[in-house]
Amino acid sequence: MPPAALGYIQSQPYRLYLNGGTRPDFMLPPLIANQNGGHWIVPGEVYCRHVDRHGHLCNKSHPFASTYSLRNHYRKVHLIEVPFCNSGTLTGTQDNEVTAWFHEVVNLAMPTWNPLQPDNRPTRLQSTSTPTLEPSSRPTSYLPPTPNLQPVQPPAASRNPPPAPIQPPTASRNPSPAPIQPTHPQRPPPAASCQPKRPHPLPGPRTIGVTHGRPQ
């Protein structure tokens, strides 16, 4: 665990502020002069909050390497002198105040940072006159810090009855066709004759004809 002076780094509000390296434009309060007339940044800040006269956030939306790099960006690009902010050596009270400031940021409270003394001893002041961002500079989608997830309800049962199972094809009710009969009646076989067969006559004695003078 980090020491108490850097406890805000491990806090959930600070992790939501980092947003995985994507600047959460919709939740960031614009950088304006506080009641003491100064522009102060909070220890641990890495995103530019400068808003131009048209109401647009700075186009440098990437996270800077450190709060010190962000301070140099304000001084060189936007010509705003930001007092030195030592984000590495905070007392326990200061660390709690920094954590509370990031908590208000992720809850869209748009807080300002109003240190009482030059040593960055913080006190939070709710801003009452913050410029309004143009719709074009606002993100199209925003993930709230603590989403309220509802349990998924099972789908309602369908009122339509389930389809009937497919029945196998039934046998045809039509009887099988009768075999084709021949058109011509068959001739009956000849009836057996009951008459006794007549015996063939036996040949009679051969008559030898007699001619005159010689036998034949």
Cross-strand pairs, 125: 112
Q: What is the pLDDT of residue 54?
A: 92
Within-domain flag for 47: yes
Q: Is the pLDDT of residue 6 over 70?
A: yes
In angstroms, the CA 79 to CA 77 distance is: 6
Q: Domain limits at 129?
A: 4-136
β-strands 111-113, 124-126 pairing: antiparallel
Mean pLDDT of 110-117: 68
Q: Model's pTM, two decimal places?
A: 0.53
In angstroms, the CA 70 to CA 45 distance is: 8
Helices (H), 19-136: 67-76, 92-106
N- to C-terminal Cα separation, the chain: 166
The residue whose two tokens read 């440098």 is 60
Within-domain flag for 146: no
Mean pLDDT of 87-111: 88
Q: Are 137 and 56 in contact (CB under 8 A)?
A: yes
Amino acid at 27: M
Burial of 119 (0-12, 13-18, 19+ CB in 10 A): exposed
For 45, other C-beta atoms within 10 Å of its C-beta total 26
Within-domain flag for 98: yes
Q: Which two tokens stand for residue 30?
A: 């614009």
The residue whose two tokens read 């709060």 is 67
Assign 173 a pLDDT band (cuts: 50, 70, 90). low
Assign 178 a pLDDT band (cuts: 50, 70, 90). low
Within-domain flag for 77: yes
The share of the chain scoring above pLDDT 70, in percent, equals: 47
Q: What is the pLDDT of residues 21-50, one digit of tens each?
A: 999 999 999 998 877 677 889 999 999 999
Structural domain tally of the chain? 1
Within-domain flag for 172: no
Within-domain flag for 147: no
Radius of gyration of the chain (CA): 58
Within-domain flag for 164: no
Mean pLDDT of 159-180: 64
Within-domain flag for 35: yes
Amino acid at 8: Y
Contacting residues for 80 by C-beta, under 8 A, at least 6 apart: 31, 39, 50, 74
